[in-house]
A and B are shown apart, each in its own frame.
Chain A
Amino acid sequence: MDSQINKDNTILISPVTRIEGHAKITIDLGPDGSVKDARFHVNEFRGFEKFCEGRYFTEMPTITPRICGICPVSHSVSSAKACEAIMGIKPTYTGDLLRRLIHLGQVISSHALSFFHLSSPDFILGWDSDPAVRNIVGLAQQSPDLALRGIRLRKFGQEISERITGKKIHIMGIVPGGVGAPLSEENRKALLGWIAEATQTTLMGIDLIKKYHDQNKDMVNSFANFPTLYLGTVGPQGEWEVYDGKLRFMDADGKILEDQIDPKNYLDYIAERAIDWSYLKYPYYKPYGFEKGFYRVGPLARLNVSSKMKTPKAQKEFLNFKSIGAGKPVHGTFYFHYTRLIECLSAVEEAERILKDPKITSGDTQTAGKHNYNEGIGSSEAPRGTLFHHYKTDDSGRLTNVNLLIATGQNNPAMNRSVLEVAKQYVHGKNVKEGALNRVEAAIRCYDPCLSCSTHAIGSMPMLIEIKDHLGRTVHVLKRG
């Protein structure tokens, strides 16, 4: 990681390491060296929304998984659902169940990657340890069993995809109407064989993070702890849900603002605003407006909005998590890690239940359909949060408009706020140690942001980096391209 303190009292951290994609953070210092402002810049540019226009709508579940190698399943699921809305069809029972299973596999693999590969080196090896070893390789040297288990947990999640669709990454088997091929009995048994190990590894991760919480109470509770609204998908009884359900908004005090909202009505509740210094758009909860309506999505948000988990082991941890907030939402950003592991546990438990469903190996995996409607919206809970795919077509099925509302985009305002909060806490003056800068980065990593996903707009948001001195004067402007 390169970091430098510029002459104008601006600290630049670039690039932020161990997140998916590339980003830049600037921290503005005041004349006394205290942090005045901090911003998280996203400099990537993808353009998916634009170049998908003109394609035939059924190609989208194939094209959109290419947005991201970490959560391609969520894109494929949301896309297939949007296509089903356009066709006016529903998947078969087995097709739907297999899609749910693949999606849970992705939750497991993505969360395992986030916790074991990307985040755990910070708190196992130490914030101030050498950046050269503060990674999965360093972790493997110090705690080989844990590192190997983390890698194998991720492998299990990916193997679910592989054994159903034939591919671990950028899967192509999720189709409008279900999945393209059935699960064989041999593969069902092979996947069931993973459950015990996956459960044990996840519980080890939970023990690890809980011990860290106990040993670092002050840091954990103060680390980017600020109130926001929360958005997540829940089942009919308010239970935790990542594959299919209705939306629930919760305010900072735990009051349910909206419940059982059909995702197809998301635009009634969410608006977006472009900003001039990042490719990420600023979404917000419409009724509260741009200033007060910023909300968080992802594991922390999902557990905050959920009333219960669906599986026993996860429910036990869920109650423990809820006790932290004592009846209110947990705002501490560091708790993303804990909630991620609780979700992983729930996903493993639910995967086992699905694999034991007698119809899981049925050959009836796909319904057929054709273009019937000119608009479709599909949503799912990607590992990083709620994901919407919204397509409009002409009468022949050609896409005329594509809107992809991505989890990292929705967490964007909160990530900025987190960076500022952590910078205020750990950066004082020009004498900044590497470990402190890493804590600023770590605030971003709590959200496990997938920047390549969330920067897809074109035309309206030129990338601009402003560097300001302590008097607010723009002393330097960086433009890309």
Chain B
Amino acid sequence: MAKIPLTIDGKPLEVDTGKTILEVCKENNIEILTMCHFEGIGDVGACRLCLVEIEGTTKLLPACTTKVAANQVIKTNTEKLKKYQKITTELFFAERNHICAVCVADGNCELQDLGYKVGMDHVRFPYLFPKAEVDTSHPSYVMDHNRCIMCTRCVRVCSEVEGAHNWGVKNRGVEVRIISDFDTPWGDSTTCTSCSKCVNVCPTGALWPKATVQGQLVKNPKMVSELVAKRKMNL
């Protein structure tokens, strides 16, 4: 594969063409915050946490969906980016009803970890406190829209890996919601295979196995990434 030169955070690199900035950063141990990205499923640039600065453009671009180009000068760790990362994190919390203290995912939550990582000690934006449903209709799992951050990992893993296409998205803006089939109760789904992939890749306590209590939630997201990798190897 042809190599191209570029610079990330002042470090000159020779990288493969066709890769995303996020892939290149990972290969070179340059930390980029992500939330909607998940190893093994396609990227959509939904969460805006992985924004980077590229010289020559005034726009901040998502590292997960922006391909590398020759002679790019990329910055991943500027004060401006840190500011936006904190804003984005606070908006996650303000948009839905995230109550870590009573959440089943407390201590095992990527959103909670992100809050600590960006140093979020309070939320500067008014909470929306939306009325969000808790769908308990599935015999084994719960979907709690209060805790959903619309990363759409569940939608993508269901369509790309399981091939069931149970999950979808409706509405726009703050009204946006994950839906099962044609916006019907999850338990009524004719497409869900109850494979649990969506539950395992969900970064928060939005999707969780029934009768699991706080402190006992175990998710195995690697299972999905490994499954995808094995398929690629035709094992």
Which of A58, A170, A398 has a CB less than 8 Å from the CB of B211?
A58
Are A180 and B136 interface neighbours, CB within 8 A?
A: no
- Residues in chain A near residue B2, CB distance under 8 A: none
Instruction: Give the complex CA separation of A369 and B137 in angstroms.
Output: 17
Are B213 and A58 interface neighbours, CB within 8 A?
A: yes
The answer to whether A397 and B214 touch (CB under 8 A), given A62-B104, A66-B102, A170-B101, is no
Instruction: Give the complex CA separation of A276 and B224 in angstroms.
Output: 57
- Residues in chain A near residue B142, CB distance under 8 A: 56
The answer to whether A56 and B213 touch (CB under 8 A), given A63-B102, A170-B101, is no
Residue of B nearest to A173 (CB): B215
Are B137 and A371 interface neighbours, CB within 8 A?
A: no
**B212 part of interface (Cβ distance < 8 Å):** yes
Are A368 and B102 interface neighbours, CB within 8 A?
A: no
Which of B102, B133, B210, B211 has a CB less than 8 Å from the CB of A62?
B102
Which of B106, B211, B214 has a CB less than 8 Å from the CB of A369?
B211
Q: Which of B104, B133, B136, B216 is most buried by chain A, counting CB atoms within 10 A of its CB?
A: B136
**A71 part of interface (Cβ distance < 8 Å):** no
**B13 part of interface (Cβ distance < 8 Å):** no
Instruction: Give the complex CA separation of A56 and B213 in angstroms.
Output: 11
Residue of A nearest to B97 (CB): A51
Are A176 and B213 interface neighbours, CB within 8 A?
A: yes
Which of B101, B106, B133, B211 has a CB less than 8 Å from the CB of A371?
B211
Interface size on A, residues (CB 8 A): 24
The answer to whether A59 and B102 touch (CB under 8 A), given A54-B134, A173-B215, A175-B216, is yes
Over the window 124-164 of chain B, the binary record of Cβ atoms lying under 8 Å from chain A Cβ atoms (1 yes, 0 no) is 00000000011011100010000000000000000000000
**B115 part of interface (Cβ distance < 8 Å):** no
Within 8 A of B (CB), among A7-65: 54-56, 58-59, 61-63
Instruction: Give the complex CA separation of A59 and B99 in angstroms.
Output: 12
- Residues in chain B near residue A55, CB distance under 8 A: 134
**B187 part of interface (Cβ distance < 8 Å):** yes
The answer to whether A56 and B101 touch (CB under 8 A), given A172-B214, A180-B216, is no
Instruction: Give the complex CA separation of A175 and B142 in angstroms.
Output: 18
**A370 part of interface (Cβ distance < 8 Å):** yes
Within 8 A of A (CB), among B188-219: 210-216
The answer to whether A66 and B136 touch (CB under 8 A), given A58-B211, A58-B212, is no
Residue of B nearest to A366 (CB): B216
Seen from chain A, the residues whose Cβ lies within 8 Å of a Cβ on chain B are 54-56, 58-59, 61-63, 66, 87, 170, 172-173, 175-176, 180, 368-371, 394, 396-398
A-B contact list, 26 entries, CB within 8 Å: A56-B134, A56-B136, A56-B142, A56-B210, A58-B212, A59-B102, A59-B104, A61-B213, A62-B104, A62-B214, A66-B102, A170-B101, A172-B106, A172-B214, A175-B216, A176-B211, A176-B213, A180-B213, A370-B210, A371-B210, A371-B211, A396-B137, A396-B187, A397-B136, A397-B210, A398-B136
Having A61-B213, A63-B102, A371-B211, one finds 19 other A-B pairs with CB under 8 Å, namely: A55-B134, A59-B102, A59-B104, A59-B213, A62-B213, A62-B214, A66-B102, A87-B211, A172-B213, A173-B215, A175-B213, A175-B216, A180-B215, A369-B211, A370-B211, A371-B210, A394-B136, A396-B138, A397-B136
Seen from chain B, the residues whose Cβ lies within 8 Å of a Cβ on chain A are 101-102, 104, 106, 133-134, 136-138, 142, 187, 210-216
Name the 6 nearest CB pairs between A and B, nearest first: A396-B136, A398-B136, A63-B102, A62-B214, A175-B213, A172-B214
